[in-house]
C-alpha cells in the first residue's frame, strides 16, 4: 500500500513539476513589452502596430529587454460560418503582421475574453476556445490576454458565488488547455481585475500573470492606489506566475517625471510585467530614459523572482524592498506627499543588521556605506531607489 502511494505520489510530483516548468518557459521573469490599450484604446490598426514594433527597436527598448507587442481589444471581426474568428478590416492580415513583428526580433500578443463579448463589445471566445487558440497559433501569436468582461454575466446566472467562482476557473482552465494543445508557447495573461483573490488560484489555471486590480489610468492617484495597494501579494508571485498591477502609463503625459519614476520603481519592485502603454513612435528622450533604465529593469527582471513587500510606513512615507539573486536588496523610499520630505529611518528597522553599502539607482551613483540611521530628501510624489548590500 505504502509502496503504491509512493509510486503515485512520485508520479503526481513529477506531473506537478512538469506543469510548472511548462508555464515557466514563457515567463521565467515578468513579461516585458508594449500594449495598445492605454494610449490607443479602440484606435489601433496594422500600421500603428508595425510602427510601435519599429519604435521598440529604434528606441533601444528591444535591446533593454522589451519583447511583446500586444494588440488589446477591438481587433476582431465576426466569426465565419465555420465559427472561425477573423480580424476586422483594420488588420487585413494577422499572419503577415506577426511575421513583421517577429522579423523585428519581437513577439506578438493578442486579446480575447472567455465571454461571448469582449469589454469593448467585440467577439469573445465563448464556445470557440479551441478554434481561437488554433487560429492564434496559426497566426504566430505568442501571448494572450484573456479578459473576463461579459463572462461576468454568465457567472451571475450560476446560482451561487461558489458556482460562479467554479465557472470562472473552468473558463480560464479551458483556454489554458486549448493554448497548450496548439503546442505553441504563449504567455497566458489573466485579466479579471483581481476578483476572488486571483493570486491564490491564478497559477493553478495556468496563468503566467494575473491582473490584481481594476484598470489603471494616467494619474498619480490611480497609479499609487494600485501600486501601493499590492501589499501582501508578494508570496503569490514567482518565476512563471506573476501578479500584474496593470500596464504602464509612463510617457502618456498625465504624470510628471517624479511620478513616472515612482511608477517604474514601484512596478520593478513589484516584479510586475513591464508593458509600456504609451505611443512608442513619439517618445521624448526622458520617456525613453525612464523605460530603458537598465538597473531598474534588472530589478524587475531579477531571476530570484521575489516581489517586494512594504517594510515600513509612516503616513505618506513608505519603504518597499525586495531581495535579489545576488543577495543584495532593492529598496524604494517613497514620498506620497505633495511637498518634498526628509524621510528618516533605520536600516535595522527594515531587516538589515545596520549600515549598508548602497547605490542610488536613478542617480546611477554609488553612495558608499550608509549609517544605520539614515535620512534622505525625497521629492514630492517621488522615490529614492537604492540597491543595498550588507
Ligand atoms: C478591460 C481591461 C483593460 C482593457 C479593456 C479593453 O477594461 O481591464 O485592460 O483590456 O478591457 O476593452
Kindly report the backbone phi and psi dihedral angles of residue 213, in degrees, each rounded to the nearest multiple of 5, phi listed first.
-150, 170
Q: In the prediction, which pLDDT does 18 show?
A: 41
**8 Å CB contact between 82 and 132:** no
Interval between CA 51 and ligand 1 midpoint (Å):
22
Asked if residue 72 has its Cβ within 6 Å of ligand 1, the reply is yes
- Residue nearest to ligand 1 atom 3, measured at CA: 215
Asked if residue 318 has its Cβ within 6 Å of ligand 1, the reply is no
Asked if residue 244 has its Cβ within 6 Å of ligand 1, the reply is no
Asked if residue 215 has its Cβ within 6 Å of ligand 1, the reply is yes
Interval between CA 147 and ligand 1 midpoint (Å):
7
- Residue nearest to ligand 1 atom 9, measured at CA: 215
pLDDT, mean of residues 263-286: 98
Find the distance separating the first CA and the last CA of the chain, reported in whole Å: 51
Q: Residue 240 pLDDT > 70, yes or no?
A: yes
Closest by CA position to 272, among listed 311, 233, 215:
233
State how far the Cα of 35 lies from the Cα of 225, in Å rounded to an integer.
21
0.75 exceeded by pTM = yes
pLDDT band for position 20 (50/70/90)?
very low
Asked if residue 266 has its Cβ within 6 Å of ligand 1, the reply is no
**8 Å CB contact between 212 and 233:** yes
pLDDT, mean of residues 174-200: 98
Q: Residue 357 pLDDT > 80, yes or no?
A: yes
Interval between CA 89 and ligand 1 midpoint (Å):
21
Q: Which residues of 365-387 are buried (b: 16+ CB within 10 A; e: fewer)?
A: eebeebeeebebebbbbbbbbbb
Give the number of the atom of ligand 1 that is nearest the alpha carbon of residue 120: 12
- Residue indicated by cell numbers 512563471: 240
Name the residues annotated as catalytic.
Answer: 147, 215
Mutate to test the pocket of ligand 1, among 119, 144, 149, 277 (most ligand atoms within 8 A of CB): 119
Give the number of the atom of ligand 1 that is nearest the alpha carbon of residue 72: 10
Q: Residue 19 pLDDT > 90, yes or no?
A: no
Enumerate the H helices of 108-256 as residue ranges. 129-139, 151-156, 161-182, 220-227
pLDDT band for position 25 (50/70/90)?
confident
Q: Residue 156 pLDDT > 80, yes or no?
A: yes
State how far the Cα of 348 lies from the Cα of 352, in Å rounded to an integer.
5
Task: Please write the tens of the pLDDT for every residue from 48-82.
Answer: 999 999 999 999 999 999 999 999 999 999 999 99
Task: Please write the tens of the pLDDT for every residue from 339-352.
Answer: 999 999 999 999 99
Interval between CA 190 and ligand 1 midpoint (Å):
11
Q: Residue 7 pLDDT > 80, yes or no?
A: no
* CA dihedral sign of residues 3, 7, 12, 17: positive
Asked if residue 123 has its Cβ within 6 Å of ligand 1, the reply is no
Interval between CA 36 and ligand 1 midpoint (Å):
10
- Residue nearest to ligand 1 atom 6, measured at CA: 73
- Residue nearest to ligand 1 atom 5, measured at CA: 119
Determine the length of the chain. Answer: 390
Asked if residue 308 has its Cβ within 6 Å of ligand 1, the reply is no
Asked if residue 44 has its Cβ within 6 Å of ligand 1, the reply is no
Kindly report the backbone phi and psi dihedral angles of residue 189, in degrees, each rounded to the nearest multiple of 5, phi listed first.
-110, 110
Mean pLDDT for all residues in the chain: 95
Task: Please write the tens of the pLDDT for every residue from 288-322.
Answer: 999 999 999 999 999 999 999 999 999 999 999 99
- The single-letter DSSP state of residue 332 is E
Interval between CA 273 and ligand 1 midpoint (Å):
16
Asked if residue 119 has its Cβ within 6 Å of ligand 1, the reply is yes
Mutate to test the pocket of ligand 1, among 34, 35, 36, 37 (most ligand atoms within 8 A of CB): 37
What the block records as the C-alpha cell of 167 is 465557472
Name the β-bridge partners of 95: none
State how far the Cα of 106 lies from the Cα of 101, in Å rounded to an integer.
5
Interval between CA 120 and ligand 1 midpoint (Å):
8
Q: Residue 5 pLDDT > 50, yes or no?
A: no
Give the number of the atom of ligand 1 that is nearest the alpha carbon of residue 74: 12
What the block records as the C-alpha cell of 379 is 521629492
Q: Residue 87 pLDDT > 60, yes or no?
A: yes
As a whole-number percent, the residues of the chain with pLDDT over 90 amount to: 93
pLDDT band for position 358 (50/70/90)?
very high
Amino acid at each position: 500500500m505504502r509502496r503504491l502511494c509512493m509510486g503515485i505520489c512520485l508520479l503526481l510530483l513529477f506531473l506537478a513539476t512538469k506543469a510548472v516548468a511548462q508555464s515557466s518557459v514563457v515567463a521565467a521573469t515578468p513579461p516585458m513589452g508594449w500594449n495598445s490599450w492605454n494610449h490607443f484604446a479602440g484606435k489601433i490598426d496594422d500600421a500603428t502596430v508595425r510602427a510601435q514594433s519599429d519604435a521598440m527597436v529604434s528606441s533601444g527598448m528591444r535591446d533593454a529587454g522589451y519583447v511583446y507587442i500586444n494588440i488589446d481589444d477591438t481587433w476582431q471581426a465576426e466569426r465565419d460560418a465555420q465559427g472561425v474568428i477573423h480580424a476586422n478590416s483594420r488588420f487585413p492580415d494577422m499572419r503577415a503582421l506577426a511575421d513583421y513583428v517577429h522579423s523585428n526580433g519581437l513577439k506578438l500578443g493578442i486579446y480575447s475574453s472567455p465571454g461571448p463579448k469582449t469589454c469593448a463589445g467585440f467577439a469573445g471566445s465563448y464556445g470557440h476556445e479551441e478554434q481561437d487558440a488554433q487560429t492564434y497559433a496559426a497566426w504566430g501569436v505568442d501571448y494572450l490576454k484573456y479578459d473576463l468582461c461579459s463572462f461576468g454575466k454568465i457567472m451571475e446566472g450560476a446560482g451561487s458565488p461558489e458556482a460562479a467562482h467554479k465557472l470562472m476557473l473552468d473558463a480560464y482552465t479551458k483556454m489554458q488547455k486549448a493554448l497548450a494543445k496548439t503546442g505553441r508557447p504563449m504567455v497566458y495573461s489573466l485579466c479579471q481585475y483581481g476578483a476572488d483573490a486571483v493570486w491564490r488560484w491564478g497559477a493553478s489555471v495556468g496563468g503566467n500573470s494575473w491582473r490584481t486590480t481594476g484598470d489603471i489610468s494616467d494619474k498619480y492617484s490611480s497609479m499609487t492606489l494600485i501600486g501601493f495597494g499590492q501589499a501582501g501579494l508578494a508570496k503569490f508571485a514567482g518565476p512563471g506566475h506573476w501578479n500584474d498591477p496593470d500596464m504602464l502609463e509612463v510617457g502618456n503625459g498625465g504624470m510628471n517625471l517624479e511620478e513616472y519614476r515612482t511608477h517604474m520603481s514601484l512596478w520593478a519592485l513589484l516584479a510586475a510585467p513591464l508593458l509600456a502603454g504609451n505611443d512608442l513612435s513619439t517618445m521624448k528622450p526622458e520617456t525613453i530614459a525612464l523605460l530603458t533604465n537598465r538597473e531598474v529593469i534588472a530589478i524587475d527582471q531579477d531571476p530570484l523572482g521575489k516581489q517586494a513587500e512594504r517594510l515600513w510606513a509612516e503616513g505618506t512615507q513608505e519603504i518597499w524592498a525586495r531581495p535579489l539573486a545576488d543577495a543584495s536588496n532593492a529598496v524604494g523610499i517613497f514620498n506620497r506627499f505633495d511637498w518634498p520630505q526628509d524621510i528618516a529611518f533605520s536600516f535595522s528597522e527594515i531587516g538589515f543588521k545596520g549600515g549598508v553599502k548602497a547605490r542610488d539607482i536613478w542617480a546611477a551613483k554609488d553612495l558608499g556605506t550608509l549609517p544605520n540611521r539614515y535620512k534622505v530628501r525625497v521629492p514630492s510624489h517621488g522615490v529614492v531607489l537604492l540597491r543595498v548590500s550588507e
